[in-house]
A and B are shown apart, each in its own frame.
Chain A
């Protein structure tokens, strides 16, 4: 920091230290303001999931009650956004978990759709990234560039090709139509290649001189060094697909097969209370991963910065 030198200038009313303190208080206040805004939707969803259904309809009935409730349920005149329920109730959770199996089935659909994509995309990507790292020729650079273009394409573009292939392979309306494009998505390859290219070549060359084959270098040296990057990519791939909406809408015509992310938007007005509980349950896996893997997530994002390898 700066040297504290007394100057000949007249002393200001507030000293440098005072100014600094004011600045820090101000910056903290701004940060806190944004933090509240960022946390609000998540926190509200969670707290509202602990309301009983009568409390939900009293508070939000005005918004969601499109159907006539027959006068049995009290609906408040105004919408009343509440942070904390009048009475903490687990009734919604009990209904979701034990009484209406369709929500758990949809949750299970999500798991079934996402987990294989994460696991196998990592596997395929590790192999490909190793190849992109070890021997770099003109041809491979071109392929890598094509991968980047495919990676950056929005769904509007990739869905039509996906739909066509699924039709040819007769996997339309099966989970394979979601799995296969997900597994071969170039995103993992791109990120892992960027990471692997930072490993000094000498590390792998030394193993080679010691007589290790490519497969051994890959499994014994490269993969252990990439552990952190693999976690990062797993997190990023997981949240991307846990959040998926477009693919199931087009590739799975049977609503029974849809993941919870799609189904949540279709929960009808009479079940708003349940919807909060289901929404919260759906958040749990990704929030847990976030709590335990935030540093890996940050690392993964940092590596995604900048396009070139």
Chain B
């Protein structure tokens, strides 16, 4: 305990040397390790968030009249917010199931004994390391009205689609999202697949189960916690899709790509604190609920599988 620092030495005479001394010292010691991080998180995330909650409940920060839910009702009645929320929600509903299923599919592919397995893993993972800003150009080339995808489609007799300026734009964004995120999810599934006890699969094989049966009856059961985690993780990632949309379309995306973050950015420009705060609070309420579900489910499934 020599090198614990001066704080603790100064405290020593203040406390009688009875039973409590050791735990207190330990507690203080470990608290001092946590202090920098905790202060930072408090100052930069927790405290300002409390202020945001306060702002969302008053009519304006200076007079501070309590208006309870009026700001929220205003935000909900705002057509732009509703559209942004709907678009964000719709994107998640489309993108997340695809992200989960395809990444599981890739993990299963790489589980079989094919040549160049580790190279395939590298290839699938590589988009994660490529900054989105670097590939938007090629994305624009591919999905422009005169672009390469339409060119390829015309070979099949499909007429040109105006990808970025129609409801098809969501397809483009979903593809970009999948391209970027599948690798990460795949790694999680690969780790989970590797952790399935070999005996279980052997037993199932002796029961002459088919490959599909083994997958659905045995493996999927062991994968359920990961499945849930990946789903929720993808869902949270799907809320961040603004970045890709912004880089592809700048400030003025096609209508169906107007996301919550666009709404926030526009509100930032007007510095409407009430609207901004209320909008910023609706999101965490949703996210915290999602995390709650995750915790409960992990408690339940996690033990189920381990036990």
Contact = CB atoms under 8 A, between A and B. Distances in A.
B52 A161 contact: yes
Interface stretch (B62-70, B71-79, B212-220, B280-288): B280-288
B101 to A, nearest CB: 13
A125 B34 CA distance: 9
B46 interface: yes
Nearest to B285: A157
Interface string B227-242: 0011000001001101
A206 interface: no
Contacts of A181: 44-45
A112 interface: no
A245 B179 CA distance: 18
A62 B146 contact: yes
What is the predominant secondary structure among interface residues of chain A facing chain B?
A: helix
Given A131-B33, A213-B1, A214-B29, A283 B130 contact: yes
B95 interface: no
A307 B5 CA distance: 34
A201 interface: no
B196 to A, nearest CB: 14
Contact of B112 (A27, A44, A155, A279): A27
Contacts of B242: 155-156, 246
B172 interface: no
Contacts of B134: 42, 45, 264, 279-280, 282-283
Nearest to B2: A213
A59 to B, nearest CB: 8
A214 B1 contact: yes
A307 B277 CA distance: 28
Contacts of A218: 33
A22 interface: no
B114 A286 contact: no
Contact of B298 (A158, A265, A275, A306): A306
Per CB-CB distance, the 3 closest pairs between chain A and chain B, nearest first, are: A184-B40, A161-B48, A128-B37
Interface of B: 1-5, 26-27, 29-31, 33-34, 36-38, 40-41, 43-49, 51-52, 106, 109-110, 112-116, 119-142, 144, 146-148, 151, 179, 182-184, 187-188, 191-192, 205, 225-226, 229-230, 236, 239-240, 242-243, 246-248, 250, 260-261, 264-265, 268, 276-277, 279-280, 283-284, 287-288, 291, 294-295, 298, 302
Given A286-B131, A301-B187, 17 more contacts: A27-B114, A37-B179, A45-B138, A128-B33, A128-B36, A157-B49, A157-B284, A161-B52, A180-B44, A213-B4, A239-B129, A246-B246, A264-B247, A301-B188, A305-B226, A306-B302, A307-B229
19 contacts: A38-B124, A38-B182, A45-B135, A128-B33, A131-B30, A143-B38, A150-B41, A150-B46, A162-B44, A163-B268, A214-B4, A243-B131, A260-B133, A265-B136, A279-B137, A282-B131, A294-B125, A301-B184, A307-B229
Interface of A: 2, 23-24, 27-28, 30-32, 34-35, 37-39, 41-42, 44-45, 48, 60, 62-64, 78-79, 81, 124-125, 127-128, 130-132, 134-135, 137, 140, 143, 146-150, 152-165, 180-181, 183-184, 186, 189, 213-216, 218, 239, 242-243, 245-246, 249-250, 260-262, 264-266, 272, 275-276, 279-280, 282-283, 286-287, 289-290, 294, 297-298, 301-302, 304-308
